[in-house]
Amino acid sequence: MKFSNLIILISFIQFSVLAYGNQPNDTVQSDTTNPWEFNSLNMLTVNQIAFVNWASGGESSLSAKVSTEYDMSYKQDRFTYEHQGKVAFGLVGYIDKRVEKTDDLFDFLWSANHEAVEHLHLTGLLTFKSQFANGYKYPDDSTLISTFMAPGYANISIGLKYKPKKDFQVYFSPIAGKLTMVLNQELANKGAYGVKKAIVDTAGNILIPGEKLLSEVGIKVLSTYKAKLMENIDLRTTLSLYNNYTDYNKDNRWNIDVDWDTRIVFNINKLFSSVFYIHLKYDHNTMISEYELIDGEKTLVSEGPRLQLKESFGLSLSYKI
């Protein structure tokens, strides 16, 4: 296990235990006659900045992001069906210069659960995620690094879910299949996101195209926690861990893929809210390039897996269902 992965795992476990231990008792009475339940949070975030004759410099820009998160569930006796979705897309435009993508995601989860004993469920789980549009090495908008279904991830597994409270659950599967899809041939030829890259001759001509699929079997852990920290502050955090114990390279079998996102919503009123979002990722199959200035030129010095971080904080127009 990588040291960074271990730190993330320990921190999350500590947070979950403390938060769950201090969780207040449920006081809201639910409608027990309707087996269906649906909740959603829909947000539009806009940010604008302008510079005119500003001595310190800067670029005028306008950015916008639209996102939705929803939870749907059906409960009948000991059977529960759950479906969750996250969709987001954001752009930033630098006036009369360029437009860059700031967020791009669709992430879906389906699960069927049977409560074998109290709080312990036999669960079948399917997850699927990708993005909508092309992504580039900004400000370079000619080097493609991602696009629709490149990558795309599908994970199917069977395991046990421990759910002592409505807003806290931990799922564990010892047999979890993961399929990485890179359906863009240009990226597949480069071996992007872990697929087998193309075989070329000494002149660079492609002899055998790169493969578009990578199949793995491993262990999956998924934990979700939601809480109302204060009357107007809502927290939601999800941690996903995956270990491929069938990697053909035995040295990689202790690597753990980490996907941990946390959202804190500060509700101002029924329409406006301030949202803090942080997303940490580590995938051993995702190569991150590191550059240094050597003799005044940007030079590639190393390439490998690294901890990825995305953070945002802004004012949003929000609507809850």
pLDDT tens digits for range 197-240: 999 998 889 999 999 999 999 999 999 999 999 999 999 999 99
* Residues in the chain where the model's pLDDT stays below 70: 1-32
Domain contains 288 = yes
**285 within domain boundaries:** yes
CATH number, residue 165: 2.40.230
Residue 162 lies in a domain: yes
Q: Output the pLDDT for position 32.
A: 59
Residue 27 domain-assigned? no
Name, in order, each residue with C-beta under 8 angstroms of 180's C-beta and a sequence gap of 6 or more: 151, 152, 153, 193, 194, 195, 213, 214, 216, 285
Based on the number of CB atoms within 10 Å of its own CB, is 72 exposed (0-12), middle (13-18) or buried (19 or more)? middle
Domain contains 214 = yes
pLDDT at 228: 93
- Predicted local confidence at residue 73, as pLDDT: 95
Report pLDDT digits (tens) over 279-310.
Answer: 999 998 888 878 777 877 777 778 888 999 99
Instruction: Say what the pTM is.
Output: 0.83
What is the C-alpha separation between 291 and 47, in angstroms, rounded?
30
Phi first, then psi, for residue 136 (nearest 5°) are -130, 170
pLDDT for residue 14: 42
Contact between 173 and 125 (Cβ < 8 Å): yes
Query: Would 30 be classed as within a structural domain?
Result: no
Q: What is the pLDDT of residue 20?
A: 43
47/315 Cα distance (integer angstroms) = 8
164 CA to centre of own chain: 25
Assess contact for 45 and 315: CB atoms under 8 A: yes
Look at the chain and report how many structural domains it folds into. 1
Residue 62 belongs to a domain = yes
- Report the distance separating Cα 160 and Cα 115, nearest Å: 10
* CA separation for the pair 237, 298 (Å, rounded): 37
Residue 29 lies inside a defined structural domain of this protein: no
What is the reported pLDDT for 38?
95
- Domain region containing 278: 3-22+35-320
The predicted pLDDT at position 7 comes to: 44
